[in-house]
């Protein structure tokens, strides 16, 4: 069964939004819990499709998962823990399943994984078979773990791994890959000796994973930098740890608040994670203020065009770029957006153009957005999580009715976003067809 959103735009939105746990933080934390034979308790678990399926995948390997509350779980590995029993069909649906590579390499001499699924960022370039797909390969993960002695081969749709020679080492990452860094951190934490990771990613969820591994018994220097030194142990402890609030959900509701009449109060924030984003929003001209521990965003009719280039943290995050683009359609003048990381990240802009956005796609990485341009409701489709959120933002400020197909992609990263929106006055309905 497929679900879609039907949205009536230009409604006044007022009220409070409480930010949920971050999918990108929860994924590596769940994988890290598999490093210990002791129970781990995880708080603030987001109830989103990717994480719920990750828990199903963990359970399929014989790991015990108990819900202690609405967003709180206990994970315990035991004698039944066996990756040979993994639900491969489920793994193929999730990009997040790649995070199991590091922890399984520590716990098992041999295991196999399906190539991960998840986002397939659709591009503008047409091939004989249809739209060109910008896939997100795992080459960086494989090459990095090879430097630690992990052996692998690929046969059809399966990777076969052998970790008999896995050892601490000096690893040089060829790019600031977040998930590759997280896999290396988990592998290094469960090994005796010292591992050095050069070119490590430093995003908030990478730092959060590092803090969890420290609580489990690993000694880690350099958290938050691009160079990590990890002294691991084979006896990692069970711990209690919390998932970070989702700075990408904050960005989503921030844009909604700026583009719709009324005021949104956003609660459950880590302010240090928002510095670069809020600086750019100030440059654009969004009306916002901080009061105590809440972020208030007011309707902002006087926006200005800017240039935005995504960069490794602490630069402007790639996942926030799609969320800002609806703002730029309402900004005076010309804006330039550039994402050098993901090929065809901007393919979804074709959907915004259907709504009336004046956008010139220069190449798979860059686009001009011209404003101010009124947007109108129409039928559009979500290609991936952040593209879907961008279209949702646009629909809420557009005139008339918008139908967003394939909202499963939005559900992969947002916990009950339609309910949160209805609670502040949005007219949004979920329809199953």
Please pick, among 119, 319, 339, 384, the residue that the annotation labels catalytic: 119
Question: What pLDDT is stored for residue 163 in this prediction?
Answer: 97
Question: Is 428 in contact with 7 (CB distance < 8 Å)?
Answer: yes
Question: Is 213 in contact with 40 (CB distance < 8 Å)?
Answer: no
Matching residue, tokens 């730092």? 207
Question: What pLDDT is stored for residue 132 in this prediction?
Answer: 33
Question: What pLDDT is stored for residue 135 in this prediction?
Answer: 43
Low pLDDT (below 50) residues in the chain:
118-136
Question: Is 349 in contact with 357 (CB distance < 8 Å)?
Answer: yes
Give pLDDT tens digits for 156-168.
888 999 999 999 9
Burial 309-331 (b: 16+ CB within 10 A, else e): ebbbbeebbbbbbbbbbbbbbbb
User: What's the rounded Cα separation, in Å, for the pair 105 and 116?
Assistant: 16
273 is known as an active-site residue: no
User: What are the strands of the beta sheet with 193-198, ordered from one edge?
Assistant: 170-172, 193-198, 227-232, 219-221
Question: What pLDDT is stored for residue 383 in this prediction?
Answer: 85
Q: What is the pTM of this model?
A: 0.92
CA dihedral 304, 309, 315, 321 (to 10 degrees): 70
Residues in the chain: 433
Question: What pLDDT is stored for residue 195 in this prediction?
Answer: 98
Angle of CA points 293, 296, 297, to nearest 5° = 150
Give the residue from 164, 118, 116, 109 showing the smallest Cα distance to 140. 116
Question: What pLDDT is stored for residue 117 in this prediction?
Answer: 60
Question: What pLDDT is stored for residue 170 in this prediction?
Answer: 97
Give pLDDT tens digits for 173-201.
999 999 999 999 999 999 999 999 999 99
Question: What pLDDT is stored for residue 127 in this prediction?
Answer: 33
Question: What pLDDT is stored for residue 137 in this prediction?
Answer: 67
User: Taking the CA atoms of the chain, what radius of gyration do you get in angstroms?
Assistant: 22
Distance from CA of residue 388 to its chain's centroid? 13
Q: Which domains does the chain have, with CATH numbers?
A: 3-20+245-432 (3.65.10.10), 87-242 (3.65.10.10)
Question: Is 42 in contact with 114 (CB distance < 8 Å)?
Answer: no
User: What's the rounded Cα separation, in Å, for the pair 113 and 63?
Assistant: 17
Burial 18-37 (b: 16+ CB within 10 A, else e): ebbbbbbbbbbbbbbbbbbe
Question: What pLDDT is stored for residue 16 in this prediction?
Answer: 98
The pair of three-digit structure tokens given for residue 206, joined into one six-digit string: 């990478």
């Amino acid at each position: 069964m497929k679900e879609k959103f039907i949205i009536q735009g230009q409604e006044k939105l007022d009220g409070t939004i409480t930010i949920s746990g971050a999918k990108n933080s929860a994924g590596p934390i769940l994988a890290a819990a598999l490093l210990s034979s002791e129970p781990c308790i995880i708080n603030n678990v987001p109830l989103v499709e990717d994480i719920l399926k990750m828990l199903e995948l963990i359970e399929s390997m014989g790991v015990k998962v108990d819900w202690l509350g609405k967003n709180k779980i206990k994970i315990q590995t035991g004698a039944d823990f066996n990756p040979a029993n993994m639900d491969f069909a489920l793994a193929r649906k999730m990009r997040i399943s790649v995070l199991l590579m590091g922890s399984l390499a520590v716990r098992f001499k041999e295991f196999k994984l399906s190539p991960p699924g998840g986002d397939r960022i659709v591009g503008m370039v047409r091939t004989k078979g249809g739209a060109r797909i910008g896939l997100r390969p795992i080459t960086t993960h494989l090459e990095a773990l090879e430097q630690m002695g992990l052996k692998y081969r690929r046969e059809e749709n399966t990777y076969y791994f052998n970790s008999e020679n896995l050892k601490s080492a000096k690893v040089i990452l060829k790019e600031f890959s977040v998930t590759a860094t997280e896999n290396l951190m988990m592998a290094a934490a469960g090994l005796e000796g010292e591992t050095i990771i050069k070119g490590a990613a430093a995003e908030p969820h990478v730092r959060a994973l590092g803090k969890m591994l420290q609580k489990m018994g690993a000694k880690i220097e350099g958290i938050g930098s691009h160079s990590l030194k990890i002294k691991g142990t084979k006896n990692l402890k069970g711990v209690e740890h919390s998932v970070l609030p989702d700075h990408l959900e904050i960005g989503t509701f921030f844009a909604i608040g700026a583009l719709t009449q009324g005021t949104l109060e956003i609660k459950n924030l880590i302010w240090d994670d928002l510095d670069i984003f809020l600086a750019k929003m100030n440059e654009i001209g969004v009306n916002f203020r901080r009061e105590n521990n809440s972020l208030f965003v007011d309707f902002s009719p006087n926006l200005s065009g800017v240039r935005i280039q995504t960069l490794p943290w602490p630069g402007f995050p790639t996942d926030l770029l799609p969320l800002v683009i609806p703002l730029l359609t309402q900004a005076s003048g010309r804006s330039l957006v550039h994402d050098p990381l993901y090929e065809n990240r901007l393919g979804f802009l074709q959907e915004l153009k259907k709504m009336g956005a004046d956008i010139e796609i220069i190449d798979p990485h860059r686009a001009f957005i011209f404003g101010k341009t009124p947007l109108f409701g129409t039928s559009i489709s979500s290609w991936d999580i952040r593209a879907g959120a961008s279209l949702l933002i646009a629909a809420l400020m557009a005139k008339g009715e918008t139908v967003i197909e394939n909202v499963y992609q939005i559900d992969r990263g947002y916990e009950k976003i339609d309910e949160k929106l209805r609670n502040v006055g949005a007219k949004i309905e979920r329809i199953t067809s």
